[in-house]
Structure 1
Amino acid sequence: MFEPTVIIAAASLIGLVIVAAALLRGWHDWIELKRIELEREEAPQKDTGSAMGAARIELADLRERIKKLEAIASGVDL
């Protein structure tokens, strides 16, 4: 009737198709999630401040920390 190798090959092929379909479905859902996130970011936000201003403040804070660490490393008291 059917040889075991044919049955194993058919089962493997069916399993591969199922896994590929599941991965494709997950990929499409992930792409849709990212699309929704991008649409949400493009909408104007009234309550929050400028992201650029916050980034500048954070950058200035990091520069100040670096200066303090360099001073500590060189043995200078601030």
Structure 2
Amino acid sequence: MKEDGIDISKHTSNNMEEYGNIGFDYIITVCDNARERCPVFSSTAQQLHHNFPDPVKAKGTEEEIMQQFREVRDLIKAYAHDFVKTNVP
């Protein structure tokens, strides 16, 4: 992400309960595993799903693995741009 100008060094994982009282417009899951195993998010939000490859499962040399992470990052970035174009006035 740093290569793409985004600093996520201080990001953390959060508990779903922290978001229970937020009125989201959209909930997007980004892998089949999350869609199948994560708790149901009770909300009136429109729920969208797109399965991206999991780069953690990448095999090969260090550079080949890094390239797979870059490819998935770029897929997610393109999806986010398309989502905004389609859904944000």
Q: TM-score, normalised by structure 2?
A: 0.31
Structure with greater strand share of residues: 2
**Higher Rg:** 1
Q: Which has the higher contact order (CA 8 A, sep 6+)?
A: 2
Normalised by the length of structure 1, the TM-score is: 0.36
